[in-house]
Amino acid sequence: MRLVPFFLPGMGCPGKCVFCDQRAQTGVTYGGLERALISLTELLTTMDGSFALGFFGGTFTGLPPEWQKRFLEQAAQFRKNGALTHLRVSTRPDRIDRAALSLLQTGGVDMVELGVQSFSTPVLTASGRGYDGARAIRACEDVRDGGFELGIQLLPGLPGHDAGLWRKDAARVVALRPEVVRVYPCVVIGGTPLADMHARGEYTPWSLPLAVEETARAVLGFWRAGIRIIRLGLAAQPDMLARLKAGPWHPAFGNMVRSAALRLFLEERLAGLTGRIRAVWMPCALSGDLWGHGRANVPALARIGVTRERVKFWSETDIGVELSGPDPVPGEEQA
């Protein structure tokens, strides 16, 4: 579906986390909730055709209940005529309770995306999140029990967050089975407490290669679990880029991660096959990810017999392998 984001930068948040500057990350500034509501109305009246709407950038359930109702009621006007087909809000695990979920249900919300960031209590504490891992898990379960679709947002590379803890976070997401997940590797934005920590040598962000490889491992697990990944990396907002001090940001981060995940999958599934690979049949949808950004996958794929002359693209969604032997049939053995 076509998802239209509406940002409420920092609105409803109980405080400021060490890494966060929503105004820089979204490029949006309002003079207050009244102005934001007017902007929402202006946005919705310009929409053509059907669309989904998401409230992002702040803590929606942290807003005063009357303001939550006003935003949801405005959106509901467009649901009546069939234009709005799906409604979601983004919030924090510690701003989810029975009353909050009841209000969202009454307001027609379909999905709740939780800015979990990590399930590790020490990482959450070091990042100033104000809740622990158990609360994050419980919030996910409460959203599910409330009858909503669940989205989970993660920030690998937070203070104290190593690859081992990140892999545990990814495994927890698979166990919770959300409908969607977003992954935003932590970067250092000037003017945030994290930037001060970085300047004092108290925080070192993940390198780009580490962020790509570890995110790719998580993505492969999400793919296997049927969890849809709807964002990899922060969007290229000019204000954010102007203040970016350090960290694994790259304009092609999503492509790099998908390519690395595809490489890991092929290494795992093809390396153990007996016989020489004569052809690999790949879905056309993967043509932009197979070889990797800057052809980074080429050496590793060549080691398992996947070379340009052996790859063929087809309209099927499976990956097929043609091995040496009598009368091979493309796609007979599935990778």
The domains found in the chain, sorted by start residue, are: 2-250 (3.20.20.70), 273-323 (no CATH)
- Cα–Cα–Cα angle for 86, 179, 47, nearest 5°? 25
pLDDT at position 330: 55
pTM: predicted TM-score of the whole model, two decimal places: 0.91
Question: Quick one: average pLDDT of 24-32?
Answer: 79
Beta pairing partners, 113: 90, 151
Q: What angle do CA 226, 98, 18 make, to 5 degrees?
A: 70
The pLDDT of residue 150 is 98
- What are the structure tokens assigned to 143, written together? 């959203």
Query: Around Cβ 261, how many Cβ atoms within 10 Å?
Result: 24
10 Å CB burial of residue 99 (0-12, 13-18, 19+) is exposed
The lowest-confidence range among 49-53, 114-118, 201-205, 321-325 is 321-325
**Burial class (CB within 10 angstroms; exposed 0-12, middle 13-18, buried 19+) of 225:** middle
CB atoms within 10 A of CB 206: 24
Lowest mean pLDDT, pick from 7-11, 122-126, 141-145, 252-256: 7-11
Q: Are 246 and 188 in contact (CB under 8 A)?
A: yes
- Average pLDDT of the segment spanning 103-125: 97
Distance CA 311, CA 128 (A): 48
With the CA atoms of 190, 193, 194 and 198 taken in that order, what torsion angle do they form, in degrees rounded to the nearest 10?
80
What are the backbone angles phi and psi of residue 39, rounded to the nearest 5°?
Answer: -65, -40
pLDDT of residue 331: 56
- pLDDT interval class at 136 (50, 70, 90): very high
pLDDT in tens, 55-108: 998 999 999 999 999 999 999 999 888 899 999 999 999 999 999 999 999 999
Does pLDDT of 13 surpass 80? yes
* pLDDT per position as a tens digit, 162-199: 999 999 999 999 999 999 999 999 999 999 999 999 99
CA distances 32 to 22, 37, 39, 75, 287, Å, are 15, 9, 11, 18, 45
Q: What is the pLDDT of residues 198-249, one digit of tens each?
A: 999 999 999 999 999 999 999 999 999 999 999 999 998 898 999 999 999 9
How many Å apart are CA 104 and CA 94, to the nearest integer?
15
Residue 328's pLDDT band, with cuts at 50, 70 and 90, is very low
pLDDT at 325 over 70: no
> CB within 8 A of 212, min separation 6: which ones?
248, 253, 256, 257, 260
Average pLDDT of the chain to the nearest whole number: 93
User: So what's the pLDDT on residue 16?
Assistant: 80
Residue 335 in this model has a pLDDT that exceeds 70? no
Give the whole-angstrom CA distance, residue 208 versus residue 180: 24
Q: Is the pLDDT of residue 327 over 80?
A: no
Burial readout 41-79 (b: 16 or more C-beta within 10 A, e: otherwise): eeebeeeeeebbbbbbbbbbbbbeeebbebbbeebeebe
